[in-house]
Amino acid sequence: MKEFALVNPLWLFLPAGCVYVALAGFTEVPMLLLPHRWHFQAIFAIAVVIHVAEGLYAVSRARKASMSGSACLLWFVQTFIYGFPSLLLLNDTLRRRK
């Protein structure tokens, strides 16, 4: 599919990557860093909202570039998971299409 490109999966494992943050939620690490567990939960909820917003922004950029519905969905899912690395890749993809 020329309209969609995959982000390097290593982005998930960089320091502060989502895999480490998600795993930290099942340990006592948040209790060492934050005084209350709800702080960690609030930060996680904010991160989810931000990633949803980034995904919606990616969809709007893809639609504006006349990409197919399936490509728009793939960009949303990837951007929801990876965040800004996916947006950077989308911008590069759109630049190359022009």
Q: Which two tokens stand for residue 83?
A: 């965040």
Both structure tokens of 5? 């490109």
pLDDT tens, per residue, the chain with 98 residues: 478 988 988 777 776 666 666 666 667 766 677 777 787 788 888 988 999 999 999 999 999 999 999 999 999 999 998 899 999 999 999 999 87
The rounded distance, in Å, linking the Cα atoms of 39 and 62 is 35
The secondary structure of the chain in percent helix, strand, coil, rounded to multiples of 5, reads: 75, 0, 25
CA dihedral 98, 65, 60, 7 (to 10 degrees): -60
Full-model pTM: 0.79
